[in-house]
Amino acid sequence: MAVDLQALYPKLIHLMLDTVFVVDSENLIVFVSDGCEALLGYRADELTGTPITHYMHPEDLARTRASIVRVMNGRPHVDFRNRYVRKDGEIVHILWAAFWSEEVGARIGVARDVTALTQAEEELRFLAHHDPLTALTNRSLFNDGLDSALQDAQRHNSTLALLFLDVDDFKGINDVHGHAVGDRVLCVIARRLERCVRENDLVARMGGDEFTVLLTDIQQHADVCAKVAQILAVMAEPLGAEFGGVKMPSCSIGVAFYPVDGEDADTLLSHADGDMYRIKRQYLAAE
């Protein structure tokens, strides 16, 4: 028995897990497959006759229009990503393959939901540059940021300060209360450091109980001294009741200034580290 393919094609299109859109030269949706309801939350009859641009994420509209022009000029776009706003207000990330059909007088696109994939990619990028425990910048990204800040300081003849912070007797917390509590204390320290800096400053966990803070565009050394005093005061605040009486450890902070204490990253880090250990020795001697 012969199969009527012409009658079968519409059913196949509606059976696809991806969504098929047909959009005219005025950006009006003239056809959309049933997959649209899973993708955007709208039924096909709700979308038909409406501008497809109405559903695009506003921040992606400009570059999406550029992709539309490309497609309408006869250049298929098979790897374009953008975001749409679902009927329920949620954001969906979409991967498109689209071409312009002269025969139909419309552009035809196939849309695939790649929200989960995009989120996984973003998480991997985040983990590559951030400390998994505290979510602070990690050593690698901090070094990149320090190099960039030094270049800016050299160009603009400005000053920056590098703080190197070490937690005093952190090993004692791990030994007495366990590493899980120690990890929670490190997270508290991370959040407190973030509270103390400006948006354009940089806080990082270098490893273990060592943290760095990069202060840019310093007007005078006294400002850095005041910042160190602020950090020490914030760090001295007691831990919450959820810590069950665990005492917040003190911190030792070393400081290095560009260009007085060094003109490159390694020299500044070494100077700040040495200054931190000098202060820590004073702390130990006073006990």
Question: pLDDT tens, 184-229?
Answer: 999 999 999 999 999 889 999 999 999 999 999 888 889 999 999 9
Residue at which a domain ends, from 71, 89, 119 = 119
What is the number of other CB atoms lying within 10 angstroms of the CB of residue 100? 20
DSSP single-letter state for residue 61: H
Give the Cα separation of 68 and 65 in Å (integer).
Answer: 5
Which run of H or E residues covers position 111?
strand 106-113
**Is 88 assigned a catalytic role?**
no
- Do 99 and 145 belong to one domain? no
Range with the lowest mean pLDDT among 2-6, 30-34, 57-61, 149-153? 2-6
- Do 85 and 188 belong to one domain? no
Return the axis-axis angle of helices 221-235 and 179-196, rounded to nearest 10°.
Answer: 140
How far is CA 39 from each of CA 23, 68, 155, 201, rounded to the nearest angstrom? Answer: 17, 20, 49, 40
Instruction: Say if residue 143's pLDDT is above 80.
Output: yes
- Do 112 and 10 belong to one domain? yes
Residue 125 in any domain: the answer is no
- Do 40 and 84 belong to one domain? yes
Range with the lowest mean pLDDT among 114-118, 123-127, 282-286? 282-286
Give the bridge partners for 259, in sequence order. Answer: none
- Do 186 and 218 belong to one domain? yes
CB 163 within 8 A of CB 171: no
More confident residue, 232 or 5: 232
Written as one letter, the residue type at 139 is R
Long-range contacts of 153-157 (CB under 8 A, 24+ apart): 153/216, 153/258, 153/259, 154/263
Residue 136 in any domain: the answer is yes
Condensed to tens digits (0 to 9), the pLDDT of residues 171-180 reads 999 998 999 9
- The burial of 77, by beta-carbon neighbours within 10 Å (0-12 exposed, 13-18 middle, 19 or more buried), is given as middle
Return the axis-axis angle of helices 139-156 and 115-129, rounded to nearest 10°.
Answer: 70
Torsions phi, psi for 137 (to 5 deg)? -55, 140
Give the Cα separation of 90 and 249 in Å (integer).
Answer: 43
What ranges in 204-246 are assigned the alpha helix state H? Answer: 221-235
Instruction: Please name the residues in contact with 59: beta carbons below 8 A apart, sequence gap of 6 or more.
Output: 83
Average pLDDT over residues 134-157: 94
Backbone φ/ψ region at 118: left (φ over 0), alpha (ψ -120 to 50), beta:
alpha
The number of folded domains in the chain is: 2
Condensed to tens digits (0 to 9), the pLDDT of residues 44-54 reads 999 999 999 99
The three-state secondary structure class of 65 is helix
CB 239 within 8 A of CB 157: no
- Do 54 and 11 belong to one domain? yes
pLDDT at 281: 87
Domain CATH number, residue 155: 3.30.70.270
Give the Cα separation of 182 and 184 in Å (integer).
Answer: 5
Condensed to tens digits (0 to 9), the pLDDT of residues 235-266 reads 999 998 888 888 999 999 999 999 999 999 99
Domain extent at residue 15: 5-119
pLDDT at 285: 67
- Do 135 and 261 belong to one domain? yes
Catalytic residue among 131, 201, 209, 275: 209
Kindly give the pairing relationship between strand 202-207 and strand 210-218.
Answer: antiparallel
- Do 10 and 91 belong to one domain? yes
Instruction: Say if residue 86's pLDDT is above 80.
Output: yes
Residue 124 in any domain: the answer is no
Domain CATH number, residue 59: 3.30.450.20
- Do 58 and 140 belong to one domain? no
Residue 73 in any domain: the answer is yes
Instruction: Please name the residues in contact with 61: beta carbons below 8 A apart, sequence gap of 6 or more.
Output: 53
- Do 115 and 134 belong to one domain? no
pLDDT at 3: 46
Q: Rounded mean pLDDT of the chain?
A: 92
Residue at which a domain ends, from 119, 152, 176 = 119
